[in-house]
A and B are shown apart, each in its own frame.
Chain A
Amino acid sequence: MADTVDARGLSCPQPVLMTLDAIKAAQSDEILVIVDNEASKENVCRAATNKGWTVADTNEEAGECKITIKKG
């Protein structure tokens, strides 16, 4: 089961801070981040990549974006 970060309704820098916290505390190699605006999506992807994680999948529907990031 992947860790989940629910950053809906939050704007930068909160989604990034929450994602970085989750990366630090990660139990698994996969984290699901849910955001609801483009800027947050870009920022979360950029921050994860900077931490050496890869963006495995982004799935947009109904105004929300589910970002799956994976270690390494």
Chain B
Amino acid sequence: MKGLKNIFAGGWGIIAVGVVIGILAPLLQKWGNPGNMGVCVACFERDIAGAVGLHRAGVVQYIRPEIIGFVFGSLGAALIFKEYRPRLGSAPIVRFMLGAFAMIGALVFLGCPWRAALRLAAGDGNAILGLLGLAVGVWIGTLFLKGGYNLGRTQPTHHTAGLMLPLFMAGLLALLFIFPAVSGEAKNGVLFYSLKGPGAMHAPLLVSLGVGLLIGFLAQRSRFCTMGAIRDFVLFRQMHLLSGFIALIITAFIVNFMVGQFHPGFAGQPVAHTMHVWNFAGMILSGLAFCLAGGCPGRQLFLAGEGDGDAAVFVMGMIVGAGFSHNFGLASSPKGVGPYGIEAVVIGLLVCLFIGFTMRKRIA
């Protein structure tokens, strides 16, 4: 298989992957997932945090099989094509913090870059502010990259270390089977479930898992990354990843239109608010944190699947960040930003700037 040219890494390959995600994500909504949340990595990791009780926001608690599928799809692809390479040691604690603040920013906007794209493709005008913020955040990140910012080299490590996040995901899946959702019950065994709100809306478990596996597999092969799409265009004027991201948006728009999920406007959009400044600023924080950490939340899951322990730490940072976000009242709701959301965005930006300015040692 190694000798096989990687067709998905080519120009049409990345577009094909964007098209596949653009078809499946809106369909997941049709099959039960929350509005414009076919696949939202931040939202779904937040739901996982809720399901295990790291926060107790009752409306967002569910072990999302899509996330588990992303990691295992990528692991499978990496193993088949001999790209599984356990590695870690590139400033993991910094990545944890970047993950936490990326999540906090995303939950002020109410979505990661994936959901921003899906929201736009369903006519949610607020997503324009989010995507603009994302671009500005990534642009600030590229200034640091040009100035020599880096998190240092990784080291090869034991297979066991590379398997930690896949095993954690396997544990979550086991819990989901041992303590499945029971109609009308907010808790089964150790897992919390939502009785209403987005957390109560989900596609059938095996469908979600299957779609997650497929997207994880394809994204590992193609290196699909929503942050990298913008970063590479800003840094190198390179359209490669961006063409995949744009293909996702256009395809999702067409599919939404066909299945009656396209509703243009700003007010009354599903799981969204209309505070433009904070939609914009939340995603600046998120975009900057993703850029400093080297990948969008999806890409971090795919990297973790191929054995990148630092990306795994970023993922754990996002899950813990979701806990802080809801426990501290930082996360927005359809009514608007949370009581301390604005302060959190400011602090998060300061933390990212501190990291960006101070970690600029040239690589030896």
Chain A partners chain B: yes
Interface pair B150/A10, CB less than 8 Å apart: yes
Question: Is the contact region of chain A dominated by helix, strand, or loop, or is it mixed?
Answer: helix
Interface assignment of B153: CB less than 8 Å from any CB of chain A: yes
Interface pair B145/A38, CB less than 8 Å apart: no
Which of B90, B146, B150 counts the most chain A CB atoms within 10 A?
B150
A46 to chain B, nearest CB (A): 7
Cα A20 to Cα B6 in complex, Å, equals: 24
CB neighbours of A9 from chain B (8 A): 87, 90, 152-155
Closest A residue to B155 using CB positions: A9
Cα A42 to Cα B81 in complex, Å, equals: 15
A33 to chain B, nearest CB (A): 14
CB neighbours of A11 from chain B (8 A): 154, 294, 303, 308
Interface pair B238/A8, CB less than 8 Å apart: no
CB neighbours of A39 from chain B (8 A): 223
Cα A12 to Cα B146 in complex, Å, equals: 13
Partner of B236, one of A14, A36, A50, A63: A50
Interface pair B153/A47, CB less than 8 Å apart: no
Interface pair B156/A37, CB less than 8 Å apart: no
Interface pair B87/A12, CB less than 8 Å apart: no
Q: Which of B17-25, B227-235, B264-272, B319-327 contacts A (4 or more CB under 8 A)?
A: B227-235
Interface pair A37/B145, CB less than 8 Å apart: no
Cα A20 to Cα B146 in complex, Å, equals: 11
Given A10-B363, A63-B85, residue A42 in contact with residue B90 (CB < 8 A): no
0/1 per residue, B158-186, Cβ < 8 Å to A? 00000000000000000000000000000
Count residues on chain A whose CB falls below 8 Å from chain B CBs. 20
A residues 1-48 near B (Cβ < 8 Å) are 8-14, 16-18, 20, 36-39, 42, 46-47
Interface pair B228/A12, CB less than 8 Å apart: yes
Classify chain B: how many residues form its interface, as a range: 20 to 34
Cα A58 to Cα B152 in complex, Å, equals: 25
Cα A63 to Cα B83 in complex, Å, equals: 9
B142 to chain A, nearest CB (A): 8
B residues 275-331 near A (Cβ < 8 Å) are 294, 303, 308
Cα A8 to Cα B248 in complex, Å, equals: 32
Interface assignment of B9: CB less than 8 Å from any CB of chain A: yes
CB neighbours of B240 from chain A (8 A): 46
Partner of A50, one of B153, B228, B238: B238
Cα A27 to Cα B254 in complex, Å, equals: 51
Interface pair B238/A46, CB less than 8 Å apart: yes
Cα A13 to Cα B303 in complex, Å, equals: 14
Partner of A17, one of B81, B153, B235, B308: B235
A6 to chain B, nearest CB (A): 8
Interface pair B223/A42, CB less than 8 Å apart: yes
CB neighbours of A18 from chain B (8 A): 363
Interface pair B156/A63, CB less than 8 Å apart: yes
Cα A46 to Cα B238 in complex, Å, equals: 9
CB neighbours of A47 from chain B (8 A): 236, 238
CB neighbours of B152 from chain A (8 A): 9
CB neighbours of B232 from chain A (8 A): 13
A31 to chain B, nearest CB (A): 16
Closest B residue to A37 using CB positions: B85
Partner of B231, one of A8, A13, A38: A13
Closest A residue to B2 using CB positions: A60
Which of A8, A11, A47 counts the most chain B CB atoms within 10 A?
A11
B145 to chain A, nearest CB (A): 6
B residues adjacent to A (C-beta < 8 A): 6, 9, 81, 83, 85, 87, 90, 145-146, 150, 152-156, 223, 228, 231-232, 235-236, 238, 240, 294, 303, 308, 363
Contacts A9-B153, A12-B228, A38-B81 known; list 14 others, CB within 8 Å: A9-B87, A9-B152, A10-B150, A10-B153, A11-B308, A12-B223, A14-B363, A17-B146, A38-B6, A42-B9, A42-B223, A47-B238, A50-B236, A63-B85
A residues adjacent to B (C-beta < 8 A): 8-14, 16-18, 20, 36-39, 42, 46-47, 50, 63
